[in-house]
Structure 1
Amino acid sequence: MEKTRVLHVVREAEGGMKKHLLSLLNGLDKDKYQLAVGCSFDKKTMDDLIKDGVSVYSVNICDGINFKKDFAALKEIRAIIDDFKPHIIHFHGAKASLVGRLASLGYNLKIVVTVHNFPNYNNMNKVKKYFYLTINKRLNKKTDAVIAVSYALKKAVADEENMPPDKVRVVYNCIDVPQIIKEPLKLREKYGIASDTLIIGCVARLIPSKGVQDLIEALNILRGKVKAFVFIAGDGPYKEHLKDMVRDLKLDNVEFLGFIEDIFNFLSSIDIFVLPSHSEGFGISVAEAMALGVPVIATDVGGIPEIVRNDENGIIVKSEAPNDLANAIEILALNEDLRNKFSKKGKEYILSNFSREKMINELELLYDELRRK
């Protein structure tokens, strides 16, 4: 039997979605699958994929609705399909799956969609919501499999789009821990942080829904109660607002590092990890921190409670509640034994449940099942 040709399509992305896709492309059995990707990743990433035997096509899928750009992307995807001739086409994220499934109409393809984040319908006006829901419900009928990266996400997608739950399967993101952590960032030495001051880290795209503003407010509440310095890794349109908050509150223990290429270097340099999200499909940065043995505090949203077991391997707090977040930070900062417990239990849980092998096996079973149909 010839190799199964699988084409992956994704919009411009960083963070969890990109990591997930790269893990797939690197991990799938090249003896069984001929792989291609339509993307707009940076040149180095594209070159690395080509070296690994993946065919790379350039496609520019914008965020939001832009009919001119979306039509151009649709034509690009159809040209890729004509050239690569996939048996299966796998879309990642809401926008790629919308444009890509429209582009796939008329082809005899098996279609897979991975949902990485919660549907944003509640933040849309009635007309926009009706437009998106109507199109997605119709496209779902022509979709062979939908993957959610958490059970919370599966329920949301099934409920919002009236999709039979048995059509949505959960495949957790894997956590690829490097064999060797490159030299840590030495934040303590670089910023002159005293040995009795804990280093707290946060990794997030700087937008309101990531809740970094709540972490800043929590630090203000904790002023004088704990010795902590916070480093925020990530970039985004909310960055200047967050910096203004820090200035207005006169906090001298917060530093914005911007986008960091090797996140494990950062995570290996901190004592506590905090993710104060208001919405989170999976929470890959939480799992990555736990995999390195960093104790975590995160909010009770989306897939995070499927990763963090409150008081067992980390602390879960309500979202949009800076006081609760401040209390959790104070408890963990003042209790070294609790930090050590969460470090050990968190690492064990992640390495046992979120391996690359498990994720790849589940995807290969799906692809083989679709190919036989």
Structure 2
Amino acid sequence: MQKEALIAANFIGFFHFLWDDIDMLNQMGYKIYAIGDNEKKEDYTLKIMAEKNVTFIDAKIDAKSPFTKNNIVYYSKVKDLLKEHHFDVIHCHTPIVGLLVRCAARKYRKQGTVVIYTTHGLAFTHLSSKKEYFIYHTIEAFASRFCDAIITINKEDYESAKKLYCKNVFHINGVGVDTEKFKSADIDRDAYRKKINIPKDKLMILAIGELSYRKNHIVIVKALAKLADKDKYVLAICGREMTAGGTGKDIREIAKDNGVNVTFLGFRSDIPEVIKCTDIGVMPSIREGLGLSGIEMLSEGIPLVGSDVQGIREYIVNGKTGYLCHPFDVDAFAKGIEKLSDSETRESMKLNCKEIVKQFDIRVSVEQRKEIYNQVLK
């Protein structure tokens, strides 16, 4: 009888980070099922799943709070799925899905099902308020009783997870960055800048990530507003506008009121090419499991100014690959950007940036995950 595996994540787009996990389970002989929310009808992702022989189950999920009607329905759907199949392994990702799936799978663990949870950034950190820390820590501590392994992608989360109730806690260097795709993106820089409406005489600052409070793009706009020569910069933001809790309107208003040049590039499929147009990268997130976009910019030798949080501090080394700041310290971000506006300073960091990225290469991450699967599923 063929072994069966279930992979659970919030939205179908998240599975683009999980193709290597799926390939590994295929190679190990598992029949794979995936459950997630396909509200945006991503046919391209479904096509890849079909090519990888993955059976997809569409289930609506609310990623902000576990206690909603959609999530109650989701929980019931997962329980029905677990009754129908005897999954040998369940691997869940993202906080709400991780909570609901682990709770639904409790009795099946007693029947031999192995449950793995990968946290792509714990919601409680050293910067959390006491209330936030208590709520999110309590939820993660509760759910940690119902899994056989927790995988973390940064050292702060690894140390935090070891204090929970799961015996097996692992650390990997994220899902990995494929640096080869950047080498193959050969462009005429001036021509590509023109294509994305970035003047060739401006210093381009790049931020990648949805326009949300957590991604904190606003601090960069405020930092640029403080610089006397702010007109020589243009902040380019690659990321989706958020329908709920988005910051796009606030960013536009602050930029307009302070004379800051901001270009909204939207969600992109040409990130390697856009990065090659960039002078300075920024990673101002309030909370970040790792932040692959930061690593992608470093792989092109582009130094960063970023928040001193979780995963970001794993690849920004002050004075070597960029500068770290408290996520709400506007002055520190302004100083970091000002330092990196000097071309000689950026050039002096280029080799360090490319060197530090090697530990986050996708091939390293795949080997780490293979080792965990072999250990947990033996």
TM-score of the superposition, structure 1-length normalised?
A: 0.86
Which residue identity lines up with residue 247 of structure 1 in the other structure?
Answer: K
The answer to whether the Cα contact below 8 Å between 1:310 and 1:316 also exists between their aligned partners in 2 is: yes
Question: Displacement of 1:321 after TM fit?
Answer: 1.1
Which residue identity lines up with residue 248 of structure 1 in the other structure?
Answer: D
Structure 2: stretches of 5+ with no match in the other structure: none
Residues 1:95 and 2:92 are matched in the alignment: no
Of residues 103-112 and 218-227 in structure 1, the stretch that sits farther from structure 2 once superposed is 218-227
Which residue identity lines up with residue 107 of structure 2 in the other structure?
Answer: G
- Aligned mate of 1:263, from 251, 257, 271: 271
Provide, for residues 10-43 of structure 1, a one-character-per-residue CA deviation record: whole Å limited to 9, x for no partner.
Answer: 01265xx554323433x52633242332122422
Question: Displacement of 1:278 after TM fit?
Answer: 1.9
Give distance in 2, aligned partners of 1:262 and 1:191. Answer: 11
Give distance in 2, aligned partners of 1:331 and 1:135. Answer: 41
Question: Displacement of 1:295 after TM fit?
Answer: 2.3
Residue equivalent to 2:255: 246
The answer to whether the Cα contact below 8 Å between 1:184 and 1:269 also exists between their aligned partners in 2 is: no
Question: Displacement of 1:194 after TM fit?
Answer: 4.5
Change (3 A) 1:181 1:23: farther
**SS of aligned partner of 2:184:** coil
Provide, for residues 42-86 of structure 1, a one-character-per-residue CA deviation record: whole Å limited to 9, x for no partner.
Answer: 221121121133332222222213442122111222343345532
- Aligned mate of 2:289, from 262, 281, 289: 281
Change (3 A) 1:369 1:284: same
The answer to whether the Cα contact below 8 Å between 1:332 and 1:338 also exists between their aligned partners in 2 is: yes
Residue equivalent to 1:104: 105
Residue equivalent to 2:159: 155
Residue equivalent to 1:146: 150
The answer to whether the Cα contact below 8 Å between 1:57 and 1:80 also exists between their aligned partners in 2 is: no
Identity value in percent? 21
Which residue identity lines up with residue 73 of structure 1 in the other structure?
Answer: Y
Residue equivalent to 1:341: 348
- Aligned mate of 1:211, from 216, 226, 237: 216
The answer to whether the Cα contact below 8 Å between 2:62 and 2:68 also exists between their aligned partners in 1 is: no
The answer to whether the Cα contact below 8 Å between 1:200 and 1:271 also exists between their aligned partners in 2 is: yes
**SS of aligned partner of 1:49:** helix
Give distance in 2, aligned partners of 1:133 and 1:323. Answer: 31
Residue equivalent to 2:57: 57
- Aligned mate of 1:311, from 303, 306, 319: 319
Question: Displacement of 1:367 after TM fit?
Answer: 1.9
Provide, for residues 216-263 of structure 1, a one-character-per-residue CA deviation record: whole Å limited to 9, x for no partner.
Answer: 011111142672211111132111111111122232x21112222342
The answer to whether the Cα contact below 8 Å between 1:280 and 1:302 also exists between their aligned partners in 2 is: yes
The answer to whether the Cα contact below 8 Å between 1:184 and 1:266 also exists between their aligned partners in 2 is: no
Residue equivalent to 1:86: 87
Provide, for residues 202-224 of structure 1, a one-character-per-residue CA deviation record: whole Å limited to 9, x for no partner.
Answer: 11222223221110011111142
Provide, for residues 303-353 of structure 1, a one-character-per-residue CA deviation record: whole Å limited to 9, x for no partner.
Answer: 11111222222222332111111111111112x222123222212221x21
Of residues 336-345 and 299-308 in structure 1, the stretch that sits farther from structure 2 once superposed is 336-345
Provide, for residues 100-120 of structure 1, a one-character-per-residue CA deviation record: whole Å limited to 9, x for no partner.
Answer: 112212213101001112225
Question: Displacement of 1:197 after TM fit?
Answer: 2.0
Which residue identity lines up with residue 9 of structure 2 in the other structure?
Answer: V
- Aligned mate of 2:36, from 39, 58, 62: 39
Change (3 A) 1:341 1:50: farther
Give distance in 1, aligned partners of 2:142 and 2:339. Answer: 49
Equivalent pairs, count: 360
Change (3 A) 1:92 1:29: closer
Change (3 A) 1:298 1:144: same
Which residue identity lines up with residue 31 of structure 1 in the other structure?
Answer: Q
Give distance in 1, aligned partners of 2:225 and 2:139. Answer: 45
Structure 1: stretches of 5+ with no match in the other structure: none
Give distance in 1, aligned partners of 2:52 and 2:331. Answer: 48
**SS of aligned partner of 2:107:** coil
